[in-house]
Amino acid sequence: MLIFELTADMDSLGLAGRLTECGAASYVVSSPGPSVVCECGPALHSRVAQLVAGVLTREWLQARVVERVCRMEPLWPAEEVQFHALVEICESRLKSRPVAGHTLDEWQASLARALVSHFRRSVCIALEPFVRFRLHRVVVDLAHRVRDRMMASALEDEYEESLSMLRYMLDEHPLCEAEMHVYVTPDGVWITDAEGGIVTDEQIELVALQDDDVTSEDLAMTLLITKSPWRIVVHDAYPEAPWPSFSETVTRVFGHRAVPCPGCPTCRPNWSPAACCEGFASDLGSPRAVRRRLTPEAERTSDAPVENELGEGQGGSLA
């Protein structure tokens, strides 16, 4: 006979039912505290230990992770925390993702061995302190992962809202029969027309100069929405940009109107950030005056790449 002492929030009836199904007749005793009495001999100890360990690394683990995350972020809805905790635990198990140094299957096997060892010393075991001590690091690790997952989800929701706002603003501007090229680099964003001339807007830049938080990406997006070109060619020389990248934002805002560069000399694989700075000039001696311009030959859309030159752009600053 084995006696498992549980806490009030643990499913004693569910555990008793599972033990009975595996051949170990069990029943619940509610006094003085909830307990499950398992009528089984030593031959079934290993099987019982595996089943109990499975319950602990699933239901118990999820409940404790949710409990910890809710303490860390008390304003988050418990239902949402529970959902993300379930997803994280299931993914960790299915993908054999290490948690606190071991996979969940390995933690479960370790718990089962510890239970069998305990059965040899005593028929009574308090499950809560037994598992809390052994899975503490697992709970902490998973709680931080769930928290990070939920924060990332919140950022994605915020990003989607900003995309919706940008699309709404774009719909307010009539479509312009013009082609523009967007050059995304680690140093900033530049926009040219189909002939390689820098595209600027003095009024937009004048307003931007009054706000130190405005970046070249903010200016470029405002300019693209205001001009509303029918076609945008995105030259992405910064594929490792932090999410969300400007290239992705342009593509998701303008949809089919934004297309990736098919492979001009500027975007070829051996392009380097240092090379992009060659040909940039500063008319005013400030970062905002840095410009990038391609000659018309570089912007011709022909099957064979044409060597291009970088020169100074005319007009106001976008960077």
pLDDT at residue 13 greater than cutoff 60:
yes
Q: How confident is the model at residue 195 (pLDDT cuts 50, 70, 90)?
A: confident
pLDDT bin (cut points 50, 70, 90) of residue 238 is confident
> In the prediction, which pLDDT does 287 show?
32
pLDDT confidence bin for 307, thresholds 50/70/90:
very low
8 falls in which pLDDT band (50, 70, 90)? confident
What are the φ and ψ backbone dihedral angles of 191, each rounded to 5 degrees? -125, 135
Provide the 3-class DSSP secondary structure of residue 235: strand
Q: Give the pLDDT score at 268.
A: 62
Percent of the chain exceeding pLDDT 90 equals 43
Q: How far, CA to CA in Å, does 202 sit from each of 25, 153, 197, 206, 241? A: 82, 38, 15, 6, 28
Average pLDDT, the chain: 80
β-pairing verdict for 258-260 and 229-236: parallel
Higher-pLDDT residue of 89 and 16 is 89
Q: What is the DSSP letter of 58?
A: I
**pLDDT-derived band of residue 157, with 50, 70 and 90 as boundaries?**
confident
pLDDT in tens, 66-80: 999 999 999 999 999
Q: Is the pLDDT of residue 54 over 60?
A: yes
pLDDT of residue 82: 95
Asked whether 134 and 111 are in contact (CB, 8 A), the reply is: yes
pLDDT band at 208; cut points 50, 70, 90: low
Taking the C-alpha atoms of residue 236 and residue 312, their distance in angstroms, rounded to an integer, is: 20
Map tokens 């060659």 to a residue.
278
| Mean pLDDT score, 5-25 | 85
- Distance separating alpha carbons of residues 113 and 115, to the nearest angstrom: 5
- Given a cut of 70, whether residue 179 has pLDDT beyond it is yes
Residue 136 has pLDDT above 60, yes or no: yes
Q: Is the pLDDT of residue 100 over 90?
A: yes
Tell me which of 162-171, 174-183, 228-237, 299-308 is least confident.
Answer: 299-308
Name the token pair of 137. 């690091």
Backbone angles phi, psi at 99, to 5 degrees: -125, 120
Residue 148 pLDDT:
94
Q: How far apart are CA 276 and CA 267, in angstroms?
A: 10
Q: What is the pLDDT of residues 58-69, one digit of tens each?
A: 999 999 999 999
Best mean pLDDT range from 5-14, 125-134, 297-306: 125-134
- Least confident interval from 119-128, 241-250, 254-263, 266-275: 266-275
Q: What is the mean pLDDT of residues 220-246?
A: 90
